[in-house]
Structure 1
Amino acid sequence: MLYKSKAIVLHTVRYKDNSLIAYCYSELFGRISFVVNSAYSSGKSPGKAVYFQPFSILDVVFYRNTGSDLCRLKEVSIAIGQSSISFDHTKRTIALFLSEVIYRTVREEEPNPTFYNFLENSVHLLDIMQSGVANFHLIFLMQHSRQLGFFPSNLWSAANKYFDYRSGSFIPHIPQHNFYLESDVSKMISQVISTPFYNAEELSFGHNQRQQIISGILQYYKFHLGSNLEFTSLTVLTQLFD
């Protein structure tokens, strides 16, 4: 059957000689995979691969058959144009990392309008953001934990100084297990939690602090999603802010 939907690109892999498989998050079906034929340039034609960049928001027309994991792409076009992600190295690297985060943490092949809207709005905010870009991925990761079902239940305070990432809460004393963060890192993560995207520039973290924060957040993710969770693009992101 033929369908039309918006879809946000998460990941691609080359397939056979001139095709690719694109993993996307769609408005109509949730996570979805497409076989894209004639993806790479031949002669004067640029090929369809140019559409499938991390966090591109596309209009796709495709065939989806019951019992098949792969949909066959018929038509593709840009649904929402981007003014900076494709051209700004920092934003492009953040998009690469966060699209991999979604690719590795969201597996449901069913519609979820709330999550789709969160993702599309986040991409738009990254595209138009002019300051505080270096903090965008930190805020996104904590907001995404809400979508995944383990958003922290409270914030740091002088009385609750340690983030227990097993329970997802800030607690007054070091717990009797190793799944917690020290007070200074806990406080910074609490600041990230309470900061909306449009105030990202108010988070004045240095390089080492930002690395501590993302390390703590990813420990939190791994505890709740599996210790084997790894992100290959994290190295590129880390080098970006050296």
Structure 2
Amino acid sequence: MIVASEAIVIHSLRYGESDLIVSLFTKTSGLRSYLLKGILKSKKGKIRASFFQPLTLLEIEASHKNKGTLERIKEAKPLIQYQTLHTDLIKSSVVFFLSEVLKNAIREQETNEDLFQYLKTILLWLDGHDTISNFHISFLIKLTQYLGFYPDTSEISTQFFNMRDGCFQSDSSNVYCVEGVHIEKFKEFLGTTFEESMSIKLSRGIRNNVLSMLLVYFELHLHGFRKPKSISVLNEIFN
């Protein structure tokens, strides 16, 4: 079946001397993996290796056999040319972190246009803004809306956040209940826009604690999710 779709590059892996295996989150078919034969040695082909940098937005035409094997891309071109995402050191570090998160978080070969539109929108937002120190935290929180475990805020005025159950409560009922200044700051992000969340004041320690808590939250709610290796680089950049 020939499919035309917008797509977001999630991950790419060198295979042999000249091939790439790339994972794309497509608008029409969810997460798909493709084998790009000879792309690392080809200088004249229409499909270039540079198109497959992390989180690049593409337009593709692909052949899908839907048998759980690697699919083939017939044509590809950038959907939008980023201005800063892959050239600004800070933003490229954020992009690398986001791609690691998405690699672990998105598994299904199912259409999820709402999630695709969210990712496309926030990537363009990141490309066009410079005040981004809280971006990765806001991104993770809003991502939970599309993955099905956004925190229940009906008791947000209470002291503890129960990471296992995803709710706020007045007492500690298990080892995954956490409290403290970082939880009060976490509450400030809930229900805010990206623009508003950039104004939330966080110290180095609090920002690290909020991020660490969120990654544990993801591990509890997504089977097989692993903490991104790039977290140390991200913490260093924003501190």
Same fold (TM > 0.5): yes
Return the offset for 1:111. 0.8
Return the offset for 1:188. 1.0
Return the offset for 1:82. 0.9
Matches within 5 A, 1:134-145: 134-145=133-144
Return the offset for 1:68. 4.0
Secondary structure of 2:21's match?
Answer: strand
Aligned length: 239
Return the offset for 1:195. 2.4
1:178 and 2:175 matched: yes
Matches within 5 A, 1:59-78: 59-78=59-78
Matches within 5 A, 1:89-168: 89-131=89-131, 133-154=132-153, 159-168=157-166
Q: Which amino acid aligns with 2:134?
A: N
Matching residue of 1:238: 235
Return the offset for 1:2. 2.1
Q: Structure 1: how far apart are the matches of 2:80 and 2:183? A: 37
Contact 1:156/1:162 (<8 A) preserved: no
Q: Structure 2: how far apart are the matches of 1:43 and 1:60? A: 19
Long gaps (5+) in structure 2: none
Contact 1:11/1:22 (<8 A) preserved: yes
Return the offset for 1:183. 2.6
Long gaps (5+) in structure 1: none
Q: Structure 2: how far apart are the matches of 1:28 and 1:47? A: 20
Return the offset for 1:66. 3.3
Q: For the aligned residues, what is the CA RMSD?
A: 2.1
Q: Structure 1: how far apart are the matches of 2:91 and 2:155? A: 29
Return the offset for 1:187. 0.7
Q: Structure 1: how far apart are the matches of 2:45 and 2:147? A: 40
Matching residue of 1:191: 188
Which of 204, 215, 218 is equivalent to 1:218? 215
1:26 and 2:26 matched: yes
Q: Structure 2: how far apart are the matches of 1:221 and 1:101? A: 9
Return the offset for 1:43. 6.5
Return the offset for 1:165. 1.1
Secondary structure of 2:22's match?
Answer: strand
Q: Structure 2: how far apart are the matches of 1:87 and 1:106? A: 26
